[in-house]
Amino acid sequence: MRPDSGNSHGGFCPPWRTLLLAVLCSLLFMIAGPAPDTLVYTQGSYSSFLSGHWVHSDLEHALWNIGALIILGYLFEPILKQRLFTIMLSASLLLSLWLRLFAPELTAYCGLSGILNALLVTGTLSLWQQHRSSIYLLILLLTAIKNITEILSQHALFTHSAWPSFPQAHIAGMLIGVILFLVGLRVNSQRCHETI
């Protein structure tokens, strides 16, 4: 069930921010192809801090990631609104920083999956804050179990792309999602105090 978008007029409001990101990501894959050398995240290259998360190793990788982006955007854009762009950009940069500091052995990385985990956590915690339903916490727990299982087995449970999966980035994405949620709470709290 899609969360209430707060649209009092009742009609369907497409997640246009998500669709824009999905179209741009698809065009990037069609134009640049799989894992373009100049855009893939590599250790020592600051120019790929952002781009590495938006390119993919092969068509299957792109379809899984872009499909997941559309689903998560459909679920969370009504509550996150314009923060969706900020979350995706911040998660891209923070995850690249994490890769630089904590995964120096990783020579190359690409794909949306790490930042999608950040979006999942931020969106789910935002819904939990609004509804206080334990189902949202269960979703996060199951996601964490899935990511830990992938780390222990050292392969993805549901996908098989040209490059081996790096599930540590998924857990890092979840932690980044928590940070972004807490920062959002702090910003909203400061805005409330300023308006009083």
pLDDT in tens, 94-131: 999 999 999 999 999 999 999 999 999 999 999 999 99
The type of residue at 155 is H
pLDDT for 8: 45
pLDDT tens digits along 61-93? 999 999 999 999 999 999 999 999 999 999 999
Rg, C-alpha atoms of the chain = 17
Closest CA to 39 of 20, 54, 27: 54
Torsion angle of C-alpha atoms 186, 182, 13, 18, degrees rounded to 10: 120
- How far, CA to CA in Å, does 7 sit from each of 11, 13, 84, 166? 8, 8, 17, 39
At residue 11, does pLDDT exceed 70? no
pLDDT for 2: 53
Distance, in Å, from the CA atom of 57 to the CA atom of 25, rounded to the nearest integer, reads: 13
* Count of C-beta atoms within a 10 Å radius of residue 76: 24
* Domain 16-195, CATH among 1.20.1540.10, 1.10.1040.10, 3.20.20.20, 3.30.365.10: 1.20.1540.10
Distance, in Å, from the CA atom of 51 to the CA atom of 4, rounded to the nearest integer, reads: 32
Q: Residues 18-43: what's their mean pLDDT?
A: 96
Distance, in Å, from the CA atom of 60 to the CA atom of 131, rounded to the nearest integer, reads: 35
